[in-house]
Amino acid sequence: MVNLDARLTVPMTTRDKARLRRKAADLGVSPGVLARAFILRGLKSLNDPQLVAQIEAEAEAATERASAAGKAAMKARWSKEQARNKRGDPGNGNVRQD
């Protein structure tokens, strides 16, 4: 028996998670077992052009999500700094000079 001593968290949409759960239930296994089977099969199929295309699409989508999250974080921080400056709040070292 193999000791499964490592864990991996995989982000996914609520819809994809529900699909995984339904398919696993249909097969009488846990979602984790089904996901592990998919991963192991994928690792054996890394030369499949369709799989490579899917991997590339997922990587591009992940980059776009990270970029959007970074932009949103910068915007939120900038908005907070502007609000502090308007109030004259010295919390960030910038005091509004009138």
What's the CA gap between 61 and 21, in Å, rounded?
23
The predicted structure's pLDDT at residue 7: 93
- 26-30, 32-36, 74-78, range with the lowest pLDDT: 74-78
Residue 59 has pLDDT above 90, yes or no: yes
Q: What is the pLDDT of residue 1?
A: 86
Range(s) of the domain holding residue 33: 14-87
Would you say residue 69 lies in a domain?
A: yes
- Is the pLDDT confidence value at 61 over 80? yes
Q: Classify residue 2: in a domain, yes or no.
A: no
Torsion over CA of 11, 15, 20 and 22, rounded to 10 degrees?
Answer: 150
The pTM of this model reads 0.64
40 occurs within a structural domain:
yes
Per-residue pLDDT of 66-75, as tens digits, reads 998 888 888 8
Tally of domains in the chain = 1
**Predicted confidence (pLDDT) at residue 76 exceeds the cutoff of 80:** yes
